[in-house]
Structure 1
Amino acid sequence: MGIVFALLSSLTWGTSDFFGGLATRARSAAAVTGWSQACAFVVVSVAVLLVRPEVSGWSWLVYAAAAGLCGVAGLLCFYTALAQGTMGVVSPIASMGALVPVGIGLAMGERPGAVTWLGVVVALVGVVLASGPELSGAVSPRPVLLAVASALFFGFTLFLLNRGAQASPLLTVWGMRAASVTLFVGAALVLRSVGGVGTREVPGLAAIGVGDLAANFFFGTASRIAGDSLAVVTVLGSLYPVMTILLARAILGERLRRVQQAGVLLALVGAAVISLRP
């Protein structure tokens, strides 16, 4: 079941990213992120009150708060890099954030089998190719450095989410949103602005936020299930660019280049190989 939840996280992350990207065409990335996460915080707070999960200790809150702040930092670096650089350069670099928790998992003693490793490598290569890398021409160092920073932040977000979810996935995503929303509320008070978002835009932003929230919850649940290593769950959860690309093709009519088609196929093959592990 851990594999199923990890794949669900990639589907919902990819969908949320696609519609979040559309929303940023009308509003700033900070406004879209702040409003969507604030709406998600309301939803997850209601869920916590209804479910009332029981945990011992408060260590999950430390992981959750750190994950929330890392996630916000990653998004700010990622969107800034996209604004200043080329998508084909920024996206593949940012997607490599999956290597951070994979490396941490190996350092902590995880030893996936040969077949699993094959699936991991194939899936990671597929994600990079699906992003459509365009490394020709002059590449400005600033967006590249920002993309590297976003990858690191995203990678540590996944690791911290994994740690907190061992106690409670629901409370961990609540703590993540509490931390990020506190940051955005503070920024709004200092700037005396809510990003110009109108009432009619709130439902759409709420849907984006709930989608991202669900993805975090699915990933946390997957990482908590016994037998599913951090490395494997992380790679499966990092297939989200494939979903974003497919939605862009279906809704916006964007054409997939051959390298992207090959990447999508490799990502799916890698996921299938990983699912075959005992």
Structure 2
Amino acid sequence: MWIWGTLAGIGSALGAWLLYQGLSRAPFAIVVPVSAVAMVSIALGLSLAFLGERPNARIWLGVMIALPAIWLTAGEGKPSKTRMSSSTRAGLLLGLGAGLGFALQLHFLGQVPEQSAFYGIALCMLSGAVCCLPFYQHAHPAQKRFPLLATAAGGISALGLTLYALSREGQLAIISIVIVSMYPLIPVVFGSLARKEAVSGTTMTGVALSIVATVLIVVGSNQAILLGDRP
């Protein structure tokens, strides 16, 4: 059990590192939606490959919508080389990598027995922090608010993983689905406002499609789990 928690922490650290690397090179509106859709899609693939879950029509429809959603969000719907700049390509690739890391985190946490879920979450947070330590750099003395913000972010992450663990037990399933499906929109809106980034109508269309795709995949995956024992 401790192995799954440790591996989940490694996936979390990988996802977080790649996510922040992407945010340092490309806008919020590119990196975050791509990482969110990739996270759910890759987690679905892992479930199909290792857990034997059977996809339904909603899952496949969500996957089909996710592909143009990623393109619209990252390339703003125009396949020109000027639009697809080097920073955009870097943000796209790093967002996909971040989605892979977070998908591995959820997959490995899903292997932890339900009675040990909270112990697994604690191990995940601990091993993730240890993996991130080599990348630590001393902040400027004027940036004293960073430790507080980082602590708050860690608390929110732990809360999200706790809700995820509870949803695995059949509780708060609707809440966890809404949180996951709304993930692309909320960071893009608030992040773009905070960083004063302009978000085009095409990008917002991609974000909207990302939300639709994520909802379909998550709801379809949840139904596949519920119907997994039926012929």
Judge same fold: TM > 0.5, yes or no: yes
- Please name the residue that 2:122 is paired with: 174
Gap runs ≥5 in structure 1: 1-58
Letter aligned with residue 58 of structure 2 = V
Question: How many residues were matched structurally?
Answer: 209
Name the residue aligned to 2:70. 128
Letter in 1 for 2:19: F
Question: Counterparts in 2 of 1:104-253, with a 5 A limit?
Answer: 104-107=46-49, 108-119=51-62, 121-122=64-65, 124-125=66-67, 128=70, 131-134=73-76, 136-137=81-82, 138-139=85-86, 146-164=94-112, 166-184=114-132, 187=134, 194-196=138-140, 200-225=145-170, 237=180, 239-248=182-191
Distance 1:244 1:127, change over 3 A: farther
Q: Kindly indicate whether the alpha-carbon contact (under 8 Å) linking 2:33 and 2:207 is maintained by their aligned counterparts in 1.
A: no
Q: 1:156 to 1:274 in 2, by over 3 A?
A: closer
TM-score (norm 2): 0.67
Q: Kindly indicate whether the alpha-carbon contact (under 8 Å) linking 1:120 and 1:274 is maintained by their aligned counterparts in 2.
A: no
Write out per-residue CA displacement over residues 17-45 of structure 1, whole angstroms, 9 at most, x where no aligned residue: xxxxxxxxxxxxxxxxxxxxxxxxxxxxx
Q: Is the 8 A contact 1:71 1:154 kept in 2?
A: yes
User: What is residue 101 of structure 1 aligned with on the other side?
Assistant: 43
In structure 2, what residue type is equivalent to 1:155? Answer: A
| Aligned residues of 2:4 and 2:111 also touching (Cα < 8 A) | yes
CA offset digits 1:55-111 (Å, max 9, x no partner)? xxxx1x211111111211222223223334566665555341332221121123211
Aligned partner of 2:4 among 52, 63, 75: 63
Cα shift at 1:241: 2.0
Residues 130 and 259 in structure 1, CA contact (< 8 A), matched pair in contact too? yes
CA gap of 1:257–1:200, structure 2 versus 1, over 3 A, is closer
Counterparts in 2 of 1:181 and 1:268: CA distance versus 1, 3 Å: closer
- Output the CA distance in 1 between the equivalents of 2:197 and 2:26: 20
Could you tell which deviates more after superposition, 63-72 or 248-257?
248-257
Give the residue type in structure 2 aligned to 1:209: G
Unaligned runs of 5+ in 2: 227-231
Question: What does residue range 262-273 of structure 1 map to in structure 2 within 5 Å?
Answer: 262-270=205-213, 271=215
Retained in 2: the 8 A contact 1:165–1:221? no
Deviations 1:160-207 (A, max 9, x none): 12222644332222111111233455x48xx8x654576554333322
Over aligned residues, Cα RMSD in angstroms? 4.0
- Tell me what 2:17 maps to: 76
- 1:25-44 to 2 correspondences below 5 Å: none
Distance in 2 (alpha carbons) for counterparts of 1:152 and 1:211: 20
Change in CA separation of 1:130 and 1:246 when aligned onto 2, cut-off 3 Å: farther
Question: How many percent identity over aligned positions?
Answer: 19
